[in-house]
Amino acid sequence: MPDTLKLIHIIKYSKKMADYIEPKVLKGFRDFLPQAETVRRGLVEKIEASFRSFGFVPIDTPALEYAEILLGKGGGETEKQIYRFKDNGERDIALRFDLTVPFARFTAMHSAELTFPFKRYHIGKVWRGENTQRGRYREFMQCDFDIIGSESPATDFEIILLIHSAMKNLGVDVTIHVNHRGLFNRFLSNIGQSEKSVEVLRAVDKLGKVGEGETLKTLTSLAGETNAKKIIEFISAKGGFSQTLDRLTELSGGVCPESERLADLCRYMTEAVGSNGNADPFLINPSITRGLDYYTGVVFETFLNDLPDIGSVCSGGRYDNLAGLYSKDKNSVSGIGASIGLDRLIAALESLDKLPSADNCRTAIACVEIEKSGQYQRLAGRLRQEGIPCEVFTDPCGEKQLVKQFVLAEKKGLRYVIIPGKNPPSDPVTLRDISARQNKELTIEELIWVLKR
């Protein structure tokens, strides 16, 4: 619609109180107030910087897609939670519920324009009509990064290294739990249980929720007591990376491509970031399976060393044939990808008091005389040139009411108020430290020096 109609109805309908509309947001949706939004943007910026430093590039896709694209020809579980509707042209459309399916469609459509291996990241909102009682949101931001078009073990390694590096750049230490779906299948085959792999994987996936006792019961009914105990032994293997890998390899019937893949990963990681005995930044956790049908190779979850109970903050794995549904081309596009759980990560960083401090404005210039607004902004411009953010207050207080501007600054969480001299921007100023309640006379050069610290 034309700009001119933007807010007509607000003016029009607000005249009569009878037309008052209660302001509210939909359940499961959130407003982000300045502080929360500053934190979110700051965090995303830092994570993006890590992606870029590894040569990953951003893409974006539409929020709305044809429902057929998002749902395939099936639907099932997904269909119940998707925001799906008919547009004015009677097209069957829906809001994206993740960034992976649009990426598959994107890859099939644009493969001729992309260079493989393709390393991309995608940060954007997705929508799911989930049950909000479990503390889930219906609108949230996803942060995915993938390398597609290569089966090299160096890509598995790079994704895991990038997680480690991105978290380090956020000031937190993590332990990345790695597993290989193929190794588990080989083990099942070795104990003659490969035809039950789906059921077994499902039972193992629930281990964390239902406990070892319950899992053993389920497994016994599936595979008999001896095999059930072997499965529990397999998924409970612990210790350093190499030690665990040796044990798993033995249980799986000896060295195989999957155990070699994990051994490569271990060697690369150790060479790249080192290892310090008990506090390895990565380990093998054979109980991690990451779901049943999708991943085909290495899978992983990431835990904060200081807050492991909050759950994995970054998970993913290797998959085959990303774009298969949308591509007539027989060449499959395999890859490895990960997704950072931003909401969970923010909650964790907050409780660890490690939220990145945003490069916020800390300083305002007091508006003493409105007539000098132009000069105040020149003074502010001088500071901004030096990289110092600076607000200019806009409602005049007069020389005797400066305290009003101090109160405003305090409410806004600012640290300093500059009271300009008679002739801004050249005259010396008074700098008010709001929390210390102290004033200092400073030349402009001194002011810049103080504010740059």
20-39 binders of a copy of itself (CB under 8 A): 20-26, 29-34, 37-38
Q: Find the DSSP H helices in 152-256.
A: 153-169, 181-190, 197-205, 207-223, 225-236, 241-251
**Identified binder of a copy of itself from the candidate list 224, 240, 324, 421, rule CB under 8 A:** 324
402 binds a copy of itself (CB under 8 A): no
d(CA 197, CA 188): 7
250 binds a copy of itself (CB under 8 A): no
Nearer to a copy of itself among residue 247 and residue 267 (C-beta): 267
Nearer to a copy of itself among residue 251 and residue 447 (C-beta): 447
Q: State the first-to-last Cα distance of the chain, in angstroms, to the nearest integer.
A: 48
**What are the two backbone dihedrals, phi and then psi, of residue 20, each rounded to the nearest 5 degrees?**
-55, 130
Q: Are 117 and 149 in contact (CB under 8 A)?
A: yes
Number of residues engaging a copy of itself in binding (CB under 8 A): 150
Stretch that binds a copy of itself, among 192-200, 240-248, 381-389, 444-452 (CB under 8 A): 381-389
60 binds a copy of itself (CB under 8 A): yes
Q: Residue 152 CB, nearest distance to a copy of itself (Å)? A: 4
Tally the C-alpha atoms within 13 A of residue 140's C-alpha that lie toward its C-beta: 22
* Sign of the four-CA dihedral 34, 39, 43, 45: positive
53 binds a copy of itself (CB under 8 A): yes
d(CA 159, CA 179): 14
Q: Are 405 and 369 in contact (CB under 8 A)?
A: no
Q: What is the DSSP letter of 269?
A: H
Quote the radius of gyration of the chain (alpha carbons, Å).
28
Picking from 316, 297, 287, 285, the residue whose alpha carbon sits closest to that of residue 203 is 287
Stretch that binds a copy of itself, among 60-68, 218-226, 254-262, 437-445 (CB under 8 A): 60-68
Within residues 133-172, the interface with a copy of itself by CB under 8 A covers 139, 147, 150, 152-155, 157-158, 161, 165
d(CA 297, CA 319): 7
| Unique residue bearing structure tokens 């994995």 | 312
Q: Residue 82 CB, nearest distance to a copy of itself (Å)? A: 9
320 binds a copy of itself (CB under 8 A): yes
Stretch that binds a copy of itself, among 226-234, 248-256, 408-416, 439-447 (CB under 8 A): 408-416
Q: Residue 197 CB, nearest distance to a copy of itself (Å)? A: 15
Stretch that binds a copy of itself, among 176-184, 189-197, 212-220, 406-414 (CB under 8 A): 406-414
Structure tokens at 223: 């595979």
Within residues 209-248, the interface with a copy of itself by CB under 8 A covers none
Nearer to a copy of itself among residue 146 and residue 252 (C-beta): 146
Dmax over Cα atoms in the chain, in whole Å? Answer: 90
Q: Residue 253 CB, nearest distance to a copy of itself (Å)? A: 25
Q: Residue 171 CB, nearest distance to a copy of itself (Å)? A: 16
Tally the C-alpha atoms within 13 A of residue 314's C-alpha that lie toward its C-beta: 26
Q: Residue 192 CB, nearest distance to a copy of itself (Å)? A: 26
Picking from 365, 368, 348, the residue whose alpha carbon sits closest to that of residue 356 is 348
Within residues 257-286, the interface with a copy of itself by CB under 8 A covers 264, 267-272
Stretch that binds a copy of itself, among 209-217, 375-383, 397-405, 433-441 (CB under 8 A): 375-383
Interface map 337-356 toward a copy of itself (x if CB under 8 A): --x-----------------
209: amino acid identity, one letter: K
Q: Are 362 and 418 in contact (CB under 8 A)?
A: no
Q: Is 63 helix (H, G, I), strand (E, B) or coil?
A: coil
Within residues 93-132, the interface with a copy of itself by CB under 8 A covers 93, 95, 97-98, 100-101, 104-106, 108-110, 113-115, 117, 119-120, 125, 127-130
Distances 215 to 205, 210, 232, 386 between C-alpha atoms, Å:
9, 7, 8, 62
Total number of residues shown for the chain: 453
Interface map 279-318 toward a copy of itself (x if CB under 8 A): -----------xxxxx--------------------x---
Q: Residue 225 CB, nearest distance to a copy of itself (Å)? A: 28
Give the contacts of 449 (CB within 8 A, at least 6 positions apart): none
Q: Residue 338 CB, nearest distance to a copy of itself (Å)? A: 11
Q: Residue 224 CB, nearest distance to a copy of itself (Å)? A: 26
